[in-house]
Structure 1
Amino acid sequence: MKRFLKPLCVAIISIAFMQCSNDKFNVAKDKVGELTPKTTVEELETIFKNDSIVKILSEGAKGNNYFQDDDKYEIYEKGGKHLLTLVPQDQLDSTSTIKSVQIFDERYKTASGLNINATFAEINSNNTISKVESSFSSATLFIDDLNATITIDKQDLGLKEFDLQKVSLEQIPDLAKIKTFTVWFN
């Protein structure tokens, strides 16, 4: 009996560790790793205690620039790899919750395997794309079941940049790559 107990304990601990490490990079509706719609800016230091946080702060409501940028919190691994960029709901407010999370690291993925390195074919086969919007340089795919947006560069679509030509799902090549992957918490 003792002979089986030690390997069984090692197996259980290994499975528990693998599950915890998978949760760190799990993406779902209202969840990116340990981040949820209830996560506040002040909690970021604790959540990413082993990583580096670069704060890019705006002037907030007191600024004179009408077209000012939002605050951004860029998360980097200690080795320098860019993981995420977070934008809070309210600027210059440490109690604010997170509005959006842009994903830069391929380890962050959904249960179906969707990550920043996915092709359009993988996105389309495992997710419901509710809408496609065109901008001057990209097409944005809206994925309601994740409350996420994915942009694809117009160059990957074989379309001219700086053209507002409407893009349909049928026009997007299967091998088109993701330019940005953002999960929204609103």
Structure 2
Amino acid sequence: MKNIFKLASVLLISLVFIKCGNGGKFDVAKGKVGQLTTKTTVQELETIFKNDSIVKILSEGAKGDNYFQDDDEYEIYEKGGKHLLTITPKEQLDSTSTLKSIKILDERFKTASGLNLKSTFEEINANNIINKVETSFSSASLFLDELNATIAIDKEELGIKENNMQKVSKEQIPDLAKIKSFIIWFN
């Protein structure tokens, strides 16, 4: 009987470690996405993602010819090719720059309330404070100040045709509307 109790205890403790074993790799909170924080610099990405692949899409910087150029982007891919994150630094072509934003592309990244890429509008609205809704040609963006995050919902999910700047309120968004994009801002 004593051995069965010990075995059950060991199994229970092992289960807890396995459940919590990602070391916060997929945790999302204000100022934090996995191991990335507001203090993380571009040069630290190689160390943080040493077991993953990083694709660097660099701009021409301030010296380039194109005034309306895109920001630098660092795409993080897990072994096996799954796109996890797209990271944009505050300063272009600067390895000491901290991060401006992180676009989450893997549903394993989630907040303490369970918000992730697979969440519906109903789940977002029930567990988070939506501070405002802005409309673009193709989507409605939800602003969550508690996370410093924006969540885009495609206008097709809302039953509105694209290229229509019709204003959208929270009440008009269907409960089952799905997330198009989820970005955490570090500013």
Q: TM-score range by the shorter chain?
A: over 0.9
State the partner residue of 1:115: 116
Q: Superposed, which structure 2 residues align to 1:130-141 within 5 Å?
A: 130-141=131-142
Q: Distance in 2 between matches of 1:19 and 1:59?
A: 42
Q: Secondary structure at the match of 1:61?
A: coil
Structure 2 segments unaligned to the other structure (5+ residues): none
Q: Deviations over 1:115-139 (max 9, x none)?
A: 0111100100000000000001100
Q: Are positions 1:78 and 2:65 aligned together? A: no
Q: Deviations over 1:144-183 (max 9, x none)?
A: 1110000001111011211111100011001110000000
Q: CA deviation at 1:66?
A: 1.2
Q: What is the TM-score when the length of structure 1 is the normalising length?
A: 0.93
Q: Distance in 2 between matches of 1:138 and 1:159?
A: 9
Q: Secondary structure at the match of 2:142?
A: strand
Q: CA deviation at 1:22?
A: 5.3
Q: Distance in 2 between matches of 1:12 and 1:184?
A: 36
Q: Deviations over 1:89-133 (max 9, x none)?
A: 100001111110000101000111110111100100000000000
Q: Distance in 2 between matches of 1:43 and 1:15?
A: 30
State the partner residue of 2:49: 48
Q: What is the TM-score when the length of structure 2 is the normalising length?
A: 0.93
Moved over 2 A (4+): 1-20
| CA-atom RMSD in angstroms | 1.7
Q: CA deviation at 1:4?
A: 6.6
Structure 1 segments unaligned to the other structure (5+ residues): none
State the partner residue of 2:31: 30
State the partner residue of 1:15: 16
Q: Distance in 2 between matches of 1:72 and 1:60?
A: 12
Q: CA deviation at 1:16?
A: 3.8
Q: CA deviation at 1:14?
A: 5.0
Q: CA deviation at 1:20?
A: 3.8
With over 3 angstroms needed to count, the CA separation of the structure-2 counterparts of 1:42 and 1:2, relative to structure 1, is: farther
Q: Would you tell me which structure has more helix in proportion to its own residues?
A: 1
The count of residues paired between Structure 1 and Structure 2 equals 186
State the partner residue of 1:94: 95
Q: Secondary structure at the match of 1:15?
A: helix
Q: Distance in 2 between matches of 1:3 and 1:159?
A: 61
State the partner residue of 2:58: 57
